[in-house]
Structure 1
Amino acid sequence: MTGERTAAAPSDSAVPSGSAPLSDASAPSGWHLADALRERVAPPRFPDREFPVTRYGARGDGRTDCTEAIRRAVADCHAAGGGHVTVPRGTYATGAIHLLSNVDLHVEAGARLAFSRDPAAYLPVVLSRFQGVECYAYSPFIYAHGQENIAVTGAGTLDGRADETHWWPWSGQEEFGWRPGIPQQEDDWPALWRQAEYGVPVTERVYGAGHWFRPNFIEPYGCRNVLIEGVTIIRSPMWEIHPVLCSNVLVQDVVIDSPGPNNDGIDPESCRDVVIRRCTINAGDDCIAIKSGREADGRRVNVPSENILIEDCDLRHRYGAITLGSDLTGGVRNVFVRNCRIGGPGLYFGLYIKTNSVRGGFAENIHLDGITVSNLTKEFVTCDFFRGEGDSGDQTPVVRNIDIRNVTVGRARRALLARGYERSRIEGLRLTDCAFGELAEGDRLENVEGLVLDNVTRNGEPIAHEP
């Protein structure tokens, strides 16, 4: 049982209560901000009341549709002033679950929520973001909008039941079941992108029945005081945990094992004050991806992701272990990553910063310390402004103050791939006390200003960079 917890007091100011000025975060000693953040982000408190879903007619037989029973349990828990909606041992078939303030959805050990494969189970449409653009689309499997003090906890399993015949083919990737003639998200994406570019109101961007945007798994939208703890998430249609425009978010002791298409693990987007710790992630895309909206829509909303601590996590598969972007238009600042274990035969990058002159935005004050990497197929740090669209846009990306300390890498293609624009150089990239083992190639650096290497070695020898 989750038990009583003390709710954090969120701040309505532009800089959360307890935050230091940006100039402090830009200093190598900025780790004191991470410690303050760890103390500030507290889990919400829930009254010691239980609302078992079985009391409302839910049956753990794997066949009975429990959607309405869970809905009524959530509504009663909320109306009573809050508590725990408990899911006991068994398999419970359900559609979308919408949380309300002061409700903890507690999935007990031995319990499984098995989510419907029928898209109609995720209607009516709700406000969401698809690839960084706001729209009304299929409900995420577990969703909350504008709520306070909410949680998904327990030692149970959340099973999205996506596979090569359900949800994943909409990705348009043959590896995941798509074949010519099967609908896919690219049938809809150009229309949504144009709507955002031309400023069509979000209420008119509706992509429900007859459209093909896959829903995310857990998505609190515009919420305060969010806890996701202990659960195992498998077989997601798309991203697993996607808080948007939230503050005071704590994700801990979660296991994610979902190697499907675009199956990012944890994606805080335009969020403030986030702690992610003791999570194990085996994802089909980036393990942890910090985002802030995309292109015209990112500039319209204009809310960065800031004050994010990631610690004691195991990040194993597939693209970036820690990624900033590529939906980075609103900016990312003050990210702290420490004491994480990274690597595996299918993991590409350690720190992956994705932006260019189409996306724009900024990434600044990024701190890594105490990272152990077994093996990567590509670079430990990659930031390439020429990736994807190259220099074809009218935005100027800004990447600065990347401080990396106490990193050990067993094997990778390179230590660094950093390519800025001549008009916008990557600034302040510092590596201290870092040891790289086997590197297949030398670093690739273009338009990098203020690179500092202090006790950085390759197989015990100091790394020397060629222009």
Structure 2
Amino acid sequence: MKTRLRFRIYTFLFFLIAGLALNACKETPKDQKEVVDVFATADKIIKDIIVPQFPDKNYNIMDFGAVADGVSDNTQAIKLAIESCHNEGGGKVIVPAGNFLTGPIHLRSNVNLHLEEGAVVLFTKDSKAYLPVVHTSYEGVELMNYSPLIYAYKQKNIAVTGKGIFDGQASETNWWPWCGAERYGYVDGEPQQKDDHNLPRLRKMNEEATPVSERLFGEGYQLRPSFFEPFECENILIKGVTFTNAPFWVIHPIKCNSITIDGVTVQSHGPNNDGCDPEYSKNVHITNCVFDTGDDCIAIKSGRNDEGRRVNIPSENIVVENCEMKDGHGGVVIGSEISAGVRNVYVRNCNMDSPNLERAIRIKTNTLRGGFVENVFVKNIKVGQVKEAVLKINTYYAIYANQEGNFIPTIKNIHLEDVEVENGGEYGILIKGRAESPVENVSFTNVHIKGAKTPLSVENSQPIIFKNTTINGVEY
């Protein structure tokens, strides 16, 4: 009897252990495991970002002499309110309802610049108001130039919040003509950014590693300032506000760490009016935003050519989610200033739709820029229509002449999943890699593209991995 009982127990244990071992050996399908792990990583990036907190103290700019008539210069009143808030340990600088004209605003640590509903901050059209020059950047190259409209240099725990509007007042009569395009007000014969004393001079300084302190521009030059530029800052919050009529790039965190951009609207259709350009920056969360822009909605950067390689700070750990992209050259773009590289970009739960949106996801570089792009994950995206392509990867990008050099870019691990496209434009997928460095490991899972004139145009890429993917109703 005891022998029979022991036999039954041993038999039961044997099959139990065998069953557990069998289950342990069953691998989750590779693609499913990858998706779960990837977006768990995105969640961890968000969780680890420090969102600044501020003491419960208010500093109303009206108490420092501000006048809400849209005409009086409130530069000093706003500066005094910010300095008082900073010097007394931090808090909230309040801009109440009304129209407030000002020059550049320089944020300080532990200050939350808060625009109440109905508040409109109007930035002066007088370029001289943005002097003296400050340490800033233009198209991926550092220089001393006009102050950004809102600027913070080496500060910590800063915020711009509220329901108000920042209006840069840039137009065809100021700032925009300097781009050199007639449709933005340029008149033939007037100075513009492509003149020898502007961009060509800055490009040469880049090549020759001229110290930034000697790269003096500003008055007498035609390089436009960014709208909001935190430079070498930590723990940044931009929430709820609207930016419009920017001179140049709109939100440009450069060499920053721990950035939250939440519920922001960018509605600005000027030249180079990118919505958000994280550059040499890491741990960035862009969520619940609306981008309606004259250039890329979001463009992730990491320096131009020699400068980017010298600085050598990749942009990484960037999560974009729950956003709406309307007009723009691209929805989420990486490049072209990309010489230090970009990695670990996560895009999910976004809507992209406009007859003036050219691409949904875009990567652009060349052999002067070089750099690398790796680990880009896109999930649950709805695209109404795009002009050119759903995904465009171009390693021959050129807007200026002579864009060939000796720095071969590498692009790998680009994954799109659960993407629905109603009108794919000229191409469903457009990839132009290099024979000496083909694009690697691109996959499409549960992607359905309708209305693409040319389904695929692919050069110098490893075979694309398709899983349950259709273009114009044809399964790939």
The answer to whether the 8 Å contact 1:250/1:274 transfers is yes
- Residues in 1 aligned to 2:366 and 2:72: alpha-carbon distance in whole angstroms: 49
Instruction: Give the structure 1 partner of residue 73 of structure 2.
Output: 65
Richer in helix (by share): 2
Unaligned regions of 5+ residues in structure 1, if any?
A: 1-25
Q: Deviations over 1:244-273 (max 9, x none)?
A: 000000001001110111100000001010
Give SS of 2:337's match. coil
- Asked whether the 8 Å contact 2:455–2:472 carries over to 1, the reply is no
**CA deviation digits over 1:131-190, x for unaligned, max 9?**
000001000000000000000000000000011111110111111000112221112000
Please say if 1:137 is aligned against 2:145: yes
Instruction: Tell me whether 1:221 sits opposite 2:227 in the alignment.
Output: no
Q: In the alignment, is residue 178 of structure 1 matched against residue 186 of structure 2? A: yes
Decide whether aligned partners of structure 1 residues 390 and 31 sit closer, same or farther in structure 2, where only a CA change above 3 A counts. Answer: farther
State the percentage of identical aligned residues.
42
- Asked if the contact 2:230/2:253 (under 8 Å) is kept, the reply is yes
Q: Deviations over 1:289-334 (max 9, x none)?
A: 0000000111111111000000000001120111000000010000
- Is the counterpart of residue 268 in structure 1 residue 268 in structure 2? no
- Asked if residue 402 in structure 1 is aligned to residue 446 in structure 2, the reply is no
Moved more, 26-35 or 60-69: 26-35
d(CA) in 2 for partners of 1:450, 1:124: 53
Q: Which residue identity is paired with 1:395?
A: F
Distance 1:236 1:246 in 2: 21
For residues 409-467 of structure 1, the C-alpha deviation after alignment (integer angstroms, 9 at most, x for no partner) is 1112211111111110000000000011111113111111142010111243313xxxx
SS at match of 2:183: helix
* 2:461 aligned residue: 448
Q: How does 1:2-21 map to 2 (within 5 A)?
A: none
| Equivalent runs, 1:320-335 vs 2, <5 Å | 320-335=330-345
Counterpart CA distance in 2 for 1:384 and 1:411 is: 21
**Contact 1:385 / 1:391 at 8 angstroms: preserved in 2?**
no
Query: Which of 214, 223, 234 is the equivalent residue of 1:204?
Result: 214
C-alpha distance in structure 2 between counterparts of 1:247 and 1:450, whole Å:
36
Q: What is the CA distance between 1:38 and its match in structure 2?
A: 1.6
Distance, in Å, in 2 between the alignment partners of 1:83 and 1:387 is 45
Task: Describe the SS at the equivalent of 1:185.
Answer: coil
Per-residue CA distance 1:339-387 (angstroms, 9 max, x = gap): 0000201010011101111100000000000000000000011112123
Question: 1:253 maps to which residue?
Answer: 263
1:79 to 87, 91, 116: 87
Structure showing greater radius of gyration is 2
RMSD over aligned Cα atoms:
1.3
Cα deviation per residue 1:95-120 (whole Å; 9 max; x = unaligned)? 00000000000011000000000011
Structure-1 residue corresponding to 2:439: 426
Instruction: Give yes or no for the alignment of 1:383 onto 2:396.
Output: no
List gaps (5 residues or longer) in structure 2: 1-32
Question: Where does structure 1 differ by over 3 angstroms across 4 or more consecutive aligned residues?
Answer: 26-29
Where 1:424 maps in the other structure, the secondary structure is coil
- Mapped partners of 1:449, 1:348: distance in 2: 25
Contact persistence 1:356–1:390 (CA under 8 A): no
Aligned length: 439
Cα offset, 1:42, TM superposition? 3.3
Match of 1:336 among 346, 351, 354: 346
Q: Map 1:21-420; keep pairs closer than 5 Å.
A: 27-28=34-35, 29-187=37-195, 188-388=198-398, 392-412=404-424, 413-420=426-433
> Are the aligned partners of 1:364 and 1:400 in contact in 2 as well (CA < 8 Å)?
yes
